[in-house]
A = this chain, B = another copy of it.
Amino acid sequence: MKYYAYENFRDDTKALIKQIDEFNPQAVVGIARGGLTLAHCIAEGIGLREVQTLRTELYDDTKKRECISVFNMCDFEKDIKRILVVDDIADSGDTLDAVMKDLKAKNLEIEFKSATLFYKKTSIYKPDFWINEATEWIEFFWEKDFLK
């Protein structure tokens, strides 16, 4: 298990912001909970007031597979054409895969790209922008620093 401190996050997020510069997003969507701090800091870094969040839930369907529901509470202004979706890590990739499919299906005229701090090579979904390959379990500072 690797502890991922704020200083690591700060440096990686700045590197991620450089990568996404070419995409020039007009809004940021963070996937709760893991993507919230990253969404906030990217939006501040690139000067976007428009930050929204969504959350997902795992459930077992009748065939006993795990499925993901996306609670998409996002409502985008009509002039927004490029949106960045962020999460902390593409691990299995299930969440990002479900979220990106859902957002694209519901907003056909918007271009969505994704960004994560970590990407595991076995993920079924590869983010458009990512910084580190995850080779062990990552303990993010927000998961550790605020426990009693």
Which chain B residue shows the least CB distance to A16?
B146
Interface membership of A85, Cβ < 8 A: no
Q: Contacting A51 at CB < 8 Å: which of B14, B36, B74?
A: B36
A6 and B10 alpha carbons, distance in the complex (Å): 10
CB distance from A54 to the nearest CB of B (A): 9
Interface membership of A42, Cβ < 8 A: yes
Residues of A within 8 A of B (CB-CB), count:
32
Q: Contacting A52 at CB < 8 Å: which of B32, B40, B143?
A: B32
Q: Is the CB of B13 within 8 A of A146?
A: yes
Contacts of A148 in B (CB 8 A): 17, 45
CB distance from A44 to the nearest CB of B (A): 5
Task: Tell me the residues in window 116-148 of chain A with beta carbons closer than 8 Å to chain B beta carbons.
Answer: 142-143, 145-148
Q: Contacting A37 at CB < 8 Å: which of B14, B37, B49?
A: B37
Task: Tell me the residues in window 59-97 of chain A with beta carbons closer than 8 Å to chain B beta carbons.
Answer: 71, 73-75
Which chain B residue shows the least CB distance to A14?
B146
Which chain B residue shows the least CB distance to A13?
B146
Interface residues of A (CB under 8 A from B): 6, 10, 13-14, 17, 30, 32-33, 36-37, 39-45, 49, 51-53, 55, 71, 73-75, 142-143, 145-148
